[in-house]
Amino acid sequence: PDVVVHAVAARDQARADAFAKKWGISKAYGGAGAYQKLLDDPEVEVVYNPLPNGLHYEWTMKALAAGKHVLLEKPSADTAEETRKMFELAEKKGLVLLEAFHYRFHPAPQGAKEILDSGELGEIQSMEVSLAIPAGFFKDDDIRLKYDLGGGAMMDMGCYAMSTARYLASADPLRVESASADTSSAFPKIDLGTTAHLAFPSVAEGSTVPVTLDVHFRLPWRLGIIPAWPRVAVHVKCARGELTLFNYIGPHFYHYITVKKTDERGKVVESRTEKRYGEGERYGWSTYRFQLEALVDKIRGRTPQHWFDAEDSIANMQWIERVYEATSLGARPASTAEVPSA
């Protein structure tokens, strides 16, 4: 095989051992210093960093300093400046650093973008991106609800929504028009949900494209007994029709792309639904498999079929910060860890 999972590291040795045994991993580092021991392992070439957001910067910088390529969970860091420094070090060391926006490597989101870019529906006039789940998915002690670890809905879910809007629009926002956050007395610094209204560039002179991001950890149950239905879709209105992509973050499980063409009065004159799961041997691959293939291609010096580059990661984090500033919660706290410099 081209990729072998060689080692795992955890704060607890028993957990590391159990995970290694379950998945047939040859080495398990646990306890104090486990992460550094893994980085010191000369047989490890690539590190996957799925630690809490607040630890991304520290351990990615240390992994890069140790000469390891890194697949880094999203969001890349707590601040755009941290993201920039990580990519600077990766470039200096000649290493591959990839933020793990796995959905971007799947044919479904790529297909939706192809349709929008083709001009079939005309220019984009508005967009809504949702990612929300009912209350009960995450317990109160979940890392996503810890401010010092970079928690918050805009961080954990909003990074997907922001990335998707920027990807499909082929542009960055011009500004954050407004943003509001749902908080609670138990988590005063954490946005349990955030709604952001952004202005994107428009082809029409003097106008902008309104884009709404709606993300939430804890949608209230209906009547207190019926879980709210998850929201995980993108809806794009264009000059000559509209496009909906359902389940943009996990399209390998199930998705659909609905395209509706309209006449000058807004009447639907043609409608179709597409599904794109890949072709040939790639049919049915998960988003994670597509991502892994791209990562390996990049490391091996081959051209990946898609890539999420440094500029994209930095810009995504910049706009997440700006949304937080607009909510008045402010950006997540920067890391205070001592790290190698770029």
pLDDT at 1: 61
Mean pLDDT across 207-232: 86
pLDDT at 256: 98
| CATH homologous superfamily, domain 104-282 | Dihydrodipicolinate Reductase; domain 2 (3.30.360.10)
Sorting pLDDT into bands at 50, 70 and 90, what band is 280?
Answer: confident
Question: pLDDT digits over 4-22, tens only?
Answer: 999 999 999 999 999 999 9
Second CATH level (architecture) for the domain 7-102+289-309: 3-Layer(aba) Sandwich (3.40)
Sorting pLDDT into bands at 50, 70 and 90, what band is 232?
Answer: very high
Burial 118-128 (b: 16+ CB within 10 A, else e): eeebeebbebb
74 is catalytic: yes
CA distances from 163 to 156, 217, 247, 265 (A): 12, 18, 14, 32
Q: What are phi and psi of 131, to 5 degrees?
A: -155, 100
Burial of 35 (0-12, 13-18, 19+ CB in 10 A): buried
Is the Cβ–Cβ distance between 215 and 207 less than 8 Å?
no
pLDDT at 238 over 80: yes
Q: How do the domains of the chain map onto residue ranges? A: 7-102+289-309, 104-282
Mean pLDDT across 216-230: 78
The string of DSSP codes covering 225-293 is TBPPPPB-EEEEEETTEEEEEE-SS-TTT--EEEEEEE-TTS-EEEEEEE----SGGGTT--HHHHHHH
Q: Which listed residue (21, 37, 62, 74) is catalytic?
A: 74
